Structure 1
Amino acid sequence: MIVITAPTGNIGRHLLTRLLESAPAAGEGLRVIVRDPARLPEAARGHIEVVTGSHGDAEVVDRAFEGADAVFWLVPPDASLTPQDAWTGFTRPAARALAAHKVGHVVGVSALGRGTPPAGRAGLVTASLAMDDLLAGTGVAYRALACPSFFENILEEAASIRDKGVFADAVDADREAPLVAVADIAAAAAGLLLDRSWTGTGSVPVLGPRDLSPNDLARIMTEQLGRPVRYERQSLDELRADLLGYGLDEAFVQGIVDMKRAKDEGLDAGVVRTPDTTGPTTFEHWCAQTLKPAVLS
């Protein structure tokens, strides 16, 4: 039995689709934890077990993990909490349930940066790495999918790209770094969940085909969208003020700012790209398939 948390989110919906196609042939049952079962895809109805509720709730994860062989773990960031509460605090009930039910394998979505100098002061990334340590300490075989920034983050800028031809971030315009499509993260998770021959704990980097700078992204978006797109660098002070203006928790906002600063200092750099750690989705392909329809809608 494989348990999927956050099955209607960006990564989880891709993972659920993959496992619906491949898990039955492998003799695997599927169970999901979801707040709103109505958001599950039609193809899943009648083919999965559903536990309704939040996977941050002790009673919910206790029911969901009973008889489970493997769990896909993803924390939905809660900007009303501190980073520590949002990741480690949210995960603590699950850690107890994993140990109580002797779940064998867990695949979690985490971040790049472990072992790099900025990692200890990288805000949300530091909180995510602490979550990994909590899960690894339960005795399960654990693999943290160590991810860089997602292509999908740019969808938040779709309106600005459409109306102004501009997208913004807080890193240097020429800072090259890995990025990845969420579908490729889901593919890596599916592979680990279905082939559980691995043991112990560790991280698995999930990278796109090549490192890209904001200026590279602007050039590719210009080519793919057929309209000029440029990058504007936002200062960290401007970013902080904008996020506080949305009513986010002050500590969570500082966690975002610290993460952005660490990424600009090379938090995601230095990971060796190999065939095993490289997803197939190029930024060009993602722009054509995902960003272009969002911008032109």
Structure 2
Amino acid sequence: MIVTTTPTGQIGRRLVARLLAQDEQLRVIVRDAARLDGAIRDRVQIVEGSHDDPVVLDKALAGADALFWLVPPNPTAPSAAEHYLAFARAGAAAIARNGTPHVVGVTSAGHDFEGSAGVLSAAFRMDSELAASGAPYRALSLPFYMENLLGQLDAIRDEGAFYLTCAADQPLASIATRDIAEHAADLLTDRSWTGQENVPVFGPDRLTPDEMAAVIGEELGRPVSYRRITMDDFASMLRSRGASDQAVQDMTEMFAAQDNGIYDADWATAKIAATDFRTWCREVLRPSALGDDDR
């Protein structure tokens, strides 16, 4: 029995589909079972609630062979660290109580980065808590998600541009969420592994934001440029949307760490995923941007 958290999220729903295609027995933790596709509801055991709740976790982990762990985002949390640690402490305690034999978590690349990295540092603290449970643990350590660009579809369509705080001429490691799900599924179903490790997983490209823009433009058949925004302008944008001072700090520290190469050291040991940026643009971004998304 494999237990999965966040089964309706970008990664979780792909993971559930992949595991069901392999005829694995699944138990999912979901806040609202109505959000699950009907065909999935009929094929999984459902534990309704949040996975920072010890009662929910104990119900879900009873007799489980493996757990997929992902902390859902909460921009209204007092701080990223408090948010991640609340989930991680509840999870680690439940894993220890139930003797869960294998745990696969979603985290960030760059564990050896020196200095504060905001949200990414919070993810690293989560890993430490889960490892302290004593369970065999694999931390899928990931760079920039390609799917983050889907949040800028309006700007890509209407302005022919996308915006980040990263240097235009420095490579930005990236990963497609479908590849995260694939690697998680492999670990959850193999289970021959022991011990605790960080497992960086990167896409095959080393593109700069300028090069990403060129690929997007070629796939959409129209010019697209990358426009770097300053950290001050980014912080001002967050504040204009109601973000707290702590949330602004968490986000700006994360993007500053990306600009300072937090992912770079992990290239040496990263497992290279299948989906390159051009393929992702053709199969995911282009259909979304042109309104023919049938994924």
Q: Same fold by TM-score, threshold 0.5 exceeded?
A: yes
Letter in 1 for 2:94: A
Pair 1:20 & 2:17 matched: no
Aligned twin of 1:6: 6
**Alpha-carbon deviations, 1:103-129, whole Å to 9, x = none?**
011000000111133xx3111111100
| Cα displacement (A) at 1:207 | 0.5
Higher mean C-alpha displacement, 167-176 vs 51-60: 51-60
* Structure 1 unmatched ranges of 5 or more: none
**Alpha-carbon deviations, 1:113-163, whole Å to 9, x = none?**
11133xx31111111001000000001100000000100000010011111
| Cα displacement (A) at 1:273 | 5.4
Q: 49, 61, 66: which is aligned to 1:65?
A: 61
CA distance in 2, matches of 1:58, 1:257: 32
**Alpha-carbon deviations, 1:75-103, whole Å to 9, x = none?**
01111110111211222112111111110
Pair 1:222 & 2:224 matched: no
Pair 1:260 & 2:245 matched: no
**Alpha-carbon deviations, 1:142-189, whole Å to 9, x = none?**
000000010000001001111111100001001102100000000000
Aligned twin of 1:278: 272
CA distance in 2, matches of 1:177, 1:72: 27
Contact 1:169 1:232 in 2 (8 A): yes
Contact 1:79 1:249 in 2 (8 A): no
| TM alignment of 1:105-254, pairs within 5 A | 105-117=102-114, 120-254=115-249
Letter in 2 for 1:79: P
Letter in 1 for 2:180: I
TM-score, normalised on structure 2? 0.95
Q: Give SS of 1:15's match.
A: helix
Matched length: 290
CA RMSD of aligned residues (A): 1.3
Aligned twin of 1:97: 94
**Alpha-carbon deviations, 1:168-226, whole Å to 9, x = none?**
00010011021000000000000000011111111111100121111011000010000
Aligned twin of 2:40: 44
CA distance in 1, matches of 2:96, 2:194: 16
Q: Give SS of 2:236's match.
A: helix
Pair 1:294 & 2:275 matched: no
TM-score, normalised on structure 1? 0.95
CA distance in 2, matches of 1:239, 1:160: 16
Contact 1:99 1:139 in 2 (8 A): yes
| Cα displacement (A) at 1:44 | 1.5
Overall identity of the aligned pairs, in %? 44
CA distance in 1, matches of 2:234, 2:176: 24
Letter in 1 for 2:109: L
CA distance in 2, matches of 1:287, 1:210: 13
**Alpha-carbon deviations, 1:35-54, whole Å to 9, x = none?**
12122223313211000111
* Structure 2 unmatched ranges of 5 or more: none
